[in-house]
């Protein structure tokens, strides 16, 4: 489900521009250095440069700085700053909790960040629950071994609907709050660039990362030249189809009750719904999504959305503000179809404008809509388009 959402998330325009500038800048550099090859050895770099004169320029120092934000395990790249657990809690409740839960346990949709670690893990640096086969969940704090990764991820990618909107101090604060939930730091802690390396020494799974594998290209971190799984390719008389030797008979599938309901110690991880035959439960048979599924629209819209000027303008606005990550005109995505919203709230412009700004939960199901930061006028414009029937 998330890869589906990811595919729809547009690349922020600033990034796209910077990436392009860097690409062009980099290739210009290569051209300048290389010596032209023999005339008929294809298009030489120089000839290529000449056929596109004036294209590209070196990225400016500012552009590179905006792009070069990674924070490494040794905290190289970490900006100076600090933030308290208390301030982090305010940010969390305003900008994160509606997706990740008040305690990081997450709601029905988003995977849990906190839970499953103990004080003992903080001492040992290995999360004991990871080795238990009967422990149902894997939270972020159970797995992550480097605090830099948590800081970096929040800094570059969260909140999901508005990445890179937090200041460095805010990232420190909200990271401190998450660490306090996991009892890695006390409630009155202030996390900063000065003490983050000390806190790293308390990460519950800090010794849980293995670098003796071939995933890393270089020799750093004791990397291995070969992968740790070494299959031998079959070269003759190879089986073309796998043969199933045994399977779970249908009558046994639900023998112990619905496994899905028994698999929820932390957060919303879903197991198989064993009340329906395997493979028969469509993605939406998931109780959560089913509860919120809007009825399928009776007929597709008569004209393609783009053909109607009112639709075109409104849809352009929804695109500009990334509403289409969750909404489509005629079908339910994460949120209800705009056509369904229009039907339910005909004429209620003010209500809709306020819901667009504030977000909410429970009208269409348990999946929350985060508050949206868009200009009042744009929210009004979308609201009156919806109130007037969404182009119908
Ligand atoms: C609109 C919903 C939403 C909001 C709001 C949101 N997140 Fe997230 N968060 C997600 C989703 C979805 C993912 C998984 C993204 C992915 O895999 O690409 C995620 C992933 C994460 C992760 C990484 C989890 C992992 O194990 O990989 C962290 C940490 C995180 N969010 C922290 C935050 C913080 C801090 C905030 C507030 C500043 C925030 N999120 C706000 C939806 C949200
Ligand atoms: C992260 C996903 C997400 C994004 C982004 C999002 N929405 Fe929603 N939206 C939802 C969900 C889920 C609901 C259903 C909430 C509920 O059940 O109360 C919803 C509901 C609505 C509603 C109906 C509210 C009601 O009370 O019936 C409107 C109107 C709406 N969204 C408009 C927008 C607009 C406009 C944008 C962009 C500015 C937007 N949404 C962005 C997920 C999203």
Residue 252, in any domain of the structure: no
Write out pLDDT tens, residues 238-263: 888 878 888 888 888 888 888 777 66
Q: 104 near 89, Cβ under 8 Å?
A: no
**Rounded mean pLDDT of 81-108?**
90
- CA–CA separation, 134 vs 173, rounded Å? 34
Instruction: Say whether pLDDT at 66 is over 70.
Output: yes
Ligand located closest to 179 CA: 1
- CA–CA separation, 191 vs 150, rounded Å? 13
How many whole angstroms from 341 Cα to the centroid of ligand 2? 9
Do 115 and 171 lie in a common domain?
Answer: yes
Do 195 and 91 lie in a common domain?
Answer: yes
| Domain final residue pick, 200, 233, 252 | 200
Q: What domain range includes position 50?
A: 3-67
Q: Is 173 in the pocket of ligand 2 (CB under 6 A)?
A: no
Tokens read off for 144: 């992550």
Which atom from ligand 1 is nearest to the alpha carbon of 159? 41
Residue 120, in any domain of the structure: yes
**Which residues lie across from 191 on neighbouring strands?**
83
**Rounded mean pLDDT of 371-384?**
92
Do 92 and 188 lie in a common domain?
Answer: yes
Do 196 and 115 lie in a common domain?
Answer: yes
78-87, 158-167, 223-232 — which one is most confidently predicted on average?
78-87
Size of the chain, expressed as the number of residues it contains: 392
Do 355 and 331 lie in a common domain?
Answer: yes
Q: What is the DSSP string of 239-264?
A: -SS--------HHHHTTTS-GGGG--
| Domain final residue pick, 200, 222, 248 | 200
Q: How confident is the model at residue 139 (pLDDT cuts 50, 70, 90)?
A: very high
- CA–CA separation, 38 vs 332, rounded Å? 58
pLDDT attached to residue 296: 38
Write out pLDDT tens, residues 18-44: 343 333 333 333 333 333 333 333 444
Do 59 and 91 lie in a common domain?
Answer: no
Do 119 and 180 lie in a common domain?
Answer: yes
How many whole angstroms from 343 Cα to the centroid of ligand 2? 14
pLDDT attached to residue 267: 61
When the pLDDT of each residue in the chain is averaged and rounded to a whole number, the result is 78
**Rounded mean pLDDT of 106-121?**
86
Instruction: Say whether pLDDT at 293 is over 70.
Output: no
Residue 295, in any domain of the structure: no
Residue 377, in any domain of the structure: yes
Question: Domain total for the chain?
Answer: 3
Instruction: Say whether pLDDT at 200 is over 80.
Output: yes
Choice from 290, 335, 350, 384 to test ligand 2 binding pocket (greatest atom count within 8 A of CB): 335
| Domain final residue pick, 200, 216, 244 | 200
Do 55 and 96 lie in a common domain?
Answer: no
**Rounded mean pLDDT of 179-190?**
97
Which atom from ligand 1 is nearest to the alpha carbon of 174? 35
Residue 159, domain CATH = 1.10.760.10
Residue 38, in any domain of the structure: yes
- CA–CA separation, 214 vs 212, rounded Å? 7
Residue 351, in any domain of the structure: yes
Do 19 and 90 lie in a common domain?
Answer: no
Do 43 and 94 lie in a common domain?
Answer: no
Q: 184 near 85, Cβ under 8 Å?
A: no
Please report, in angstroms and rounded to a whole number, the separation of the first and last CA atoms in the chain.
30
Q: Is 332 in the pocket of ligand 2 (CB under 6 A)?
A: no
């Amino acid at each position: 489900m998330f890869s589906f959402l990811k595919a729809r998330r547009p690349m922020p325009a600033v990034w796209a521009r910077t990436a392009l500038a860097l690409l062009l800048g980099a290739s210009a550099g290569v051209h300048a250095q290389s010596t032209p090859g023999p005339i008929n050895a294809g298009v030489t770099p120089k000839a290529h440069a000449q056929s596109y004169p004036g294209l590209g320029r070196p990225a400016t120092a500012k552009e590179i700085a905006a792009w070069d934000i990674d924070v490494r395990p040794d905290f190289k790249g970490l900006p100076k700053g600090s933030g308290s657990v208390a301030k982090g809690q305010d940010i969390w409740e305003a900008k994160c909790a509606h997706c990740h839960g008040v305690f990081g346990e997450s709601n029905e949709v988003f995977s849990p960040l906190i839970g499953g670690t103990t004080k003992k893990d903080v001492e040992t640096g290995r999360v004991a629950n990871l080795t238990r086969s009967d422990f149902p969940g894997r939270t972020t704090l159970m797995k992550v071994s480097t605090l830099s990764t948590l800081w970096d991820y929040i800094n570059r990618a969260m909140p999901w609907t508005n990445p890179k909107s937090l200041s460095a101090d805010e990232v420190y604060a909200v990271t401190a709050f998450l660490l306090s939930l996991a009892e890695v730091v006390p409630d009155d802690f202030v996390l900063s660039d000065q003490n983050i390396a000390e806190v790293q020494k308390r990460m519950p799974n800090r010794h849980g990362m293995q670098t003796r594998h071939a995933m890393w290209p270089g020799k750093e971190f004791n990397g291995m030249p070969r992968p740790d799984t070494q299959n031998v390719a079959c070269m003759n008389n190879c089986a073309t189809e796998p043969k199933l030797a045994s399977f779970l008979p249908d009558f046994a599938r639900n023998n112990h009750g619905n496994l899905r309901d028994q698999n929820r110690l932390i957060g919303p991880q879903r197991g198989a719904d064993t009340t329906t035959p395997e493979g028969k439960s469509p993605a939406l048979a998931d109780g959560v999504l089913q509860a919120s599924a809007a009825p399928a629209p009776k007929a597709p819209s008569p004209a393609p959305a783009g053909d109607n000027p009112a639709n075109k303008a409104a849809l352009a606005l929804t695109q500009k503000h990334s509403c289409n990550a969750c909404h489509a005109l005629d079908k339910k995505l994460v949120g209800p179809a705009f056509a369904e919203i229009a039907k339910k709230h005909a004429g209620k412009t003010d209500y809709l404008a306020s819901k667009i700004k504030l977000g909410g939960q429970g009208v269409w199901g348990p999946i929350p809509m985060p508050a949206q930061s868009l200009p009042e006028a744009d929210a009004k414009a979308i609201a009156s388009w919806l109130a007037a029937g969404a182009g119908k």
